[in-house]
């Protein structure tokens, strides 16, 4: 187990290098010049070519991109993450404030969607074909097809503006306020994000459960005279868990990177938002750092899925 984890982490290193190199190359290929985002077009037009060249030099934007990539890499290894080109703020500060907020939201909605999704999926599989199952299926379809931003806006309208139960958006600083005071801020965004993901988990859990319940060993379990709940949960649900775990595990990185919409709607100060602006401004230092986080997280999630799968399914061996 330990040996496997170490091996897996070591194998991540070349993958991280390759992926970040590709991202750097893609940034290079995008049209436009980061300098043009630094000042308004009028002042930019007044600058001479020599002055612009000087600025590019100062921001480290000159030279072949391969060289610049390795420069970035070496500085990274020395613990120097650089400064945001557009704001001048150290990249590390942006990450320090944004990442916890994003992770908080991701974990909350992951918990909501996992618990709700698997319970509803299993229930609708057990009561397959009944009205309850059909209602859940319709809700699942709606959940998958309604865009998050719309769902979010409706939620704000109802729960924040009309009922005034919860704040419209924002997040308070953890160092300033207590846990329970902050709780009300995360309820809406995490529910909106969690519920829209619940639909997917539910459909997956349902089909996995149905598949399992058709297996011969379920008949064996019944032939032993076991109570239905034991047959359903201990023999059915336990086995159908594996594919659901895989799905949830691979959702983790998507959650971190893909919460741009929710973060915008709820003015949540996370890194999803920062990432989308940074890409548009060709803000190399910030984009590369965030990309690195996403890559590490994705690889980490896949390792985690492997380990958890091996833990819950004895047929899976980690050594291979």
Contact pick of 67, 111, 181, 238 for another protein (by CB under 8 A)? 238
Is 83 in a helix, a strand, or coil?
Answer: strand
Contact residues for 254 (Cβ-Cβ < 8 A; gap 6+): none
Region of 2-10, 93-101, 195-203, 222-230 interacting with another protein (CB under 8 A): 222-230
Instruction: Between 31 and 129, name the residue whose CB sits nearer to another protein.
Output: 129
Q: How far out from the chain centre does Cα 261 lie?
A: 12
319 contacts another protein (rule: CB under 8 A) = no
| Tokens standing for residue 150 | 């719309």
CB of residue 306 to another protein, shortest distance in Å: 17
Q: Are 252 and 105 in contact (CB under 8 A)?
A: no
DSSP element (H, E) containing 287: helix 284-312
The phi and psi torsions of 83 (rounded to 5 degrees) equal -115, 155
- In terms of Cα–Cα distance, which of 119, 127, 131, 140 is closest to 203? 140
Interface region with another protein, contact rule CB under 8 A, candidates 15-23, 131-139, 163-171, 311-319:
311-319
Cβ-contact 194, 113 below 8 angstroms: yes
Of the candidate residues 58, 181, 217, 233, the single one contacting another protein (CB under 8 A)? 217
Of 135, 136, 111, 134, nearest to 199 by C-alpha is 136
Q: Judged by CB under 8 A, does residue 219 bind another protein? A: yes
Task: For residue 256, give both structure tokens.
Answer: 């971190």
Determine which residue in the list 39, 158, 165, 224 makes contact with another protein, applying CB under 8 A. 224
- Contact between 127 and another protein (CB under 8 A)? no
In the complex, least distance from residue 134 CB atom to another protein, rounded to whole angstroms: 17
Residue 315 interacts with another protein (CB under 8 A)? Answer: yes
DSSP string, 108-133: HHHHHHHHHHHHHHHHHHHTTTSHHH
227 binds another protein, rule: CB under 8 A? yes
239 binds another protein (CB under 8 A): yes
User: With binding defined as CB under 8 A, does residue 3 bind another protein?
Assistant: no
Q: Does 150 bind another protein (CB under 8 A)?
A: no
State which residue, 96 or 224, has the beta carbon closest to another protein: 224
Contact window for another protein (CB under 8 A) among 44-52, 56-64, 114-122, 216-224? 216-224
Give the whole-angstrom CA distance, residue 260 versus residue 271. Answer: 8
Counting contacts by CB under 8 A, is residue 134 touching another protein? no
Interface positions with another protein (CB under 8 A): 215-217, 219-228, 235, 238-239, 312-315
């Amino acid at each position: 187990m330990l040996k496997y984890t170490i091996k897996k982490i070591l194998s991540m290193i070349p993958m991280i290098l390759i992926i970040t190199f590709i991202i750097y190359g893609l940034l290079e290929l995008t049209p436009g010049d980061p300098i043009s985002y630094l000042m308004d077009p009028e002042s930019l037009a007044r600058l001479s070519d020599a002055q612009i060249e000087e600025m590019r030099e100062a921001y480290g934007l000159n030279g072949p991109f391969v060289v610049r990539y390795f420069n970035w890499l070496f500085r990274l290894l020395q613990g120097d993450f650089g400064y945001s080109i557009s704001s001048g703020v150290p990249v590390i500060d942006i990450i320090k404030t944004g990442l916890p907020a994003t992770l908080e939201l991701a974990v909350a909605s992951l918990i909501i969607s996992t618990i709700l999704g698997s319970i509803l999926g299993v229930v609708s599989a057990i009561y397959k074909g009944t009205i309850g199952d059909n209602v859940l299926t319709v809700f699942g379809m709606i959940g998958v097809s309604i865009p998050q931003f719309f769902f979010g806006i409706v939620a704000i309208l109802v729960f924040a503006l009309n009922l005034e139960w919860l704040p419209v958006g924002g997040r308070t600083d953890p160092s300033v306020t207590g846990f329970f005071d902050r709780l009300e801020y995360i309820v809406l965004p995490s529910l909106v994000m969690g519920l829209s993901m619940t639909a997917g988990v539910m459909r997956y859990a349902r089909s996995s459960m149905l598949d399992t319940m058709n297996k011969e060993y379920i008949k064996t379990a019944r032939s032993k005279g076991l109570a239905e709940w034991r047959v359903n949960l201990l023999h059915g649900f336990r086995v159908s868990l594996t594919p659901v775990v895989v799905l949830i595990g691979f959702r983790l990185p998507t959650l971190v990177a893909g919460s741009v919409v929710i973060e915008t709607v709820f003015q949540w100060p996370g890194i999803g938002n920062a990432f989308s602006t940074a890409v548009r401004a060709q803000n190399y230092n910030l984009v590369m750092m965030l990309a690195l986080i996403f890559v590490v997280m994705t690889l980490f999630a896949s390792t985690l899925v492997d380990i958890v799968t091996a833990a819950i399914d004895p047929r899976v061996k980690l050594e291979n």
